[in-house]
Amino acid sequence: MYKANTKCRICKSDKLTQFISLGSQPLANALLKKEDLKNKEKYYPLDVYVCSSCNLAQLSVVVSKEELFRNYVYFTSGMPKISTHFKQYAEYVIEKYLKKSSDLVVEIASNDGILLKFFKEKKFRILGIEPARNIAKTAQSIGIPTVCEFFSEAEARNIVKKYGKAKAVLANNVVAHIDDYHDLCKGIKQLLDQKGVFVFEAPYLIDMFDNLTFDTIYHEHLSYLAVRPLIKLFDMFDLEIFDVKVIPIHGISIRVFVGHKGEYVISNNVSKYVKKELVYGLNKKASYLKLAKRVENSKMKLLKVLNALKKKNKRIAAYGAPAKGNTLLNYYKIGKEVLEYALEDLPSKQGFYSPGMHIPIVDRAYAESHLPEYYLLLAWNYTKPILEKEKKFRKNGGKFIIPVGDTINII
């Protein structure tokens, strides 16, 4: 169900150096039913390499996309504040790049259609591409036309034949999931109108260096993206990055703007982030090895905090059951002896158990009647709205443990 990744997915170099090993882990979104707990789970290596040639950071193995994505538990609409983010995103794309209602907007991995609905409201033609059958069905039920397939060059040709070229192709939190980058670029080149724009958002590798967000490493995230390797990738297909913005979503993400070569003036932002990445040493193996050491130190610090609280008989639960949280729990081996449950507001996850550590995932009603003294904030990327939401819990003495970073903060 997986294959070894022996060559860089951008430049095809075989000069890949491991810098982080998080051991063998179950798939981060492979939630378990109670009856599944007695069965043996599938574990896969979770090791990250960096390419010495183009500096793309990437996993050493590729799990089957059919296993990862055909049935999915992540519904974008359930995420805090995401609707506002996507509304502003859509407004920006409309203002800058769309001219008339006949313009086609295509989103790769469109999930339940939360972004496309804003374009639909403005009367643009829209099309979602979503491989998760359960989620594509939800999108279709609310009037978002959705093709239930993985994006590819072949699928791009089918879309062009049926709908014409796209003025905007969007892809959010999916480019890092894709194994075949050459096929992706061929597909974009086929689908994109000559004056069209390909816009995508993805976690920015710089965030891992700044805030030690190593828990964003899991099997769905095949690559950890920065501007410099992406410039090399798109250049190979006569496409070019003409703008980059840093967005405070899912920690820190980059929003990358790509067009056919020569069609857009290249913003100073592109060279700005290239220079920043060089300052961070993203072209040097030593920088990645130093990052790995910081991850090890963070692990020891968090376990020390949790062990001290348990010795005082403090009650601790997890807040959120995100994929990133399962990476952390499995790497740190934090199980039911530490965490009583995980509070999760997404109905699609409630009633299940976390992969590997088997933490029960509960709804708010259960959590309110079994309040802990501390929440381990696994959904740290939503810290601000969560703290706002949990004013009463904090006012009554409850505290949150932020699990990532060089310092473990309790607030």
When pLDDT is averaged across residues 101-126 and rounded to a whole number, the result is 96
Whole-number Cα distances in Å, 28 to 324, 352, 360: 7, 13, 15
Identical fold between 76-264 and 286-410: yes
When pLDDT is averaged across residues 84-91 and rounded to a whole number, the result is 93
When pLDDT is averaged across residues 96-117 and rounded to a whole number, the result is 96
**Whole-prediction pTM value?**
0.94
Q: How confident is the model at residue 283 (pLDDT cuts 50, 70, 90)?
A: very high
Distance between CA atoms of residues 288 and 242, nearest Å: 27
**CATH architecture for the domain at 286-410:** 3-Layer(aba) Sandwich (3.40)
Length of the chain: 411
- Using the structure block, give the residue that is written with the tokens 């081996």: 333
Name the average pLDDT for the chain: 95
Domain map (residue ranges) of the chain: 2-59, 76-264, 286-410
When pLDDT is averaged across residues 111-134 and rounded to a whole number, the result is 95
Domain 76-264 has CATH 3.40.50.150: yes
Q: What is the pLDDT of residues 212-227, one digit of tens each?
A: 999 999 999 999 999 9
Q: How confident is the model at residue 78 (pLDDT cuts 50, 70, 90)?
A: low
pLDDT at residue 81 greater than cutoff 80: no
User: Collapsing DSSP states into helix, strand and coil, what is residue 405?
Assistant: coil
